[in-house]
Amino acid sequence: MPRLQTSYRTAVAPEMMKRFGWKNALQVPRLKKIVLNLGVSEARENAKVMDLAADELAAIAGQKAEVRRAKKSISNFKLREGMPIGLRVTLRGARMWEFLDRLVNVAMPRIRDFQGVDARRGFDGRGNFNLGLTEQYIFPEIQLDKSDKARGMNVTMVTTAGRDETARELLTLLGMPFKKAKPAAN
């Protein structure tokens, strides 16, 4: 069992039950899945770029990435229906917990001038958290000399929490480094 999952069961869930006054352990929100999205717009001109990006995303996630194709043709972007435009990986179970552990404890501390994650912009109103990463080099699995360019990705954490407040508390207890709220100036 992954370290963070053990921590969730032994420390996080009981703490949330105490803070929110829940009587049943099934009321505690859980992390359902983590979805990684990577847009690869250069794949229109060069198919090898998609393969390289897929290998990098697979190294980060620990499982093969799914190629996402364009749903509609858009002439302004020189895009045709069915063209490969991105990659997606959905993590559940042990891989999800291991990825979250690596993201919070290994990758985020490697970001230069990291002040914390802004919680005001990341939640969607239904308890899910979206996080944008500007480059994949923060993960130790990516070797700088074998990568062709820095690619950003979107990380979506889907929880069973119905509200942003409970989801934020869950992620905070799991170790997500949120920015501290600044006191209001008079």
Expressed as residue numbers, the domain containing 144 is: 3-173
Percentage above 90 pLDDT, the chain: 25
- Residue 186 maps to a domain: no
**Residue 132 is assigned to a structural domain of this protein:** yes
Q: Is residue 145 part of a domain?
A: yes
CATH number for the domain spanning 84: value is: 3.30.1440.10
Domain total in the chain: 1
Q: What is the CA radius of gyration of the chain?
A: 18
Question: What pLDDT score does 46 carry?
Answer: 75
pLDDT digits (tens, 9 = 90+) for 7-41: 989 999 999 999 999 999 899 999 999 999 988 87
* Composition of the chain by helix, strand, coil, percent to 5: 45, 20, 35
The yes-or-no verdict on residue 181 having pLDDT over 70 is: no
Average pLDDT over residues 114-128: 82
Where residue 125 falls among pLDDT bands split at 50, 70, 90? confident
Residue 161 within a domain: yes
Q: Which of the pair, 78 or 93, is modelled with greater confidence?
A: 93
**Tens-digit pLDDT profile for residues 32-70:** 999 999 888 776 677 788 888 888 888 888 899 888 777
Checking if the pLDDT of 113 tops 70, the result is yes
Residue 179 lies in a domain: no
pTM listed for this prediction: 0.85
Is residue 184 over pLDDT 60?
no
Output the average pLDDT for the chain: 84
Say if 178 falls within a structural domain. Answer: no
Q: What is the pLDDT of residue 95?
A: 93
Q: What is the separation of C-alpha 71 from the centre of its chain, rounded to a whole number of angstroms?
A: 24
Q: Which pLDDT belongs to residue 84?
A: 73
Q: Does any domain span residue 116?
A: yes
Lowest mean pLDDT among 3-12, 68-77, 112-121: 68-77
In 3D, which of 6, 1, 180, 4 has the Cα closest to residue 103?
4
Q: Cα–Cα distance between 54 and 52 in angstroms, integer?
A: 5
Residues 28 and 174 sit within 8 Å (Cβ to Cβ): no
CA distance 101 to 157: 13
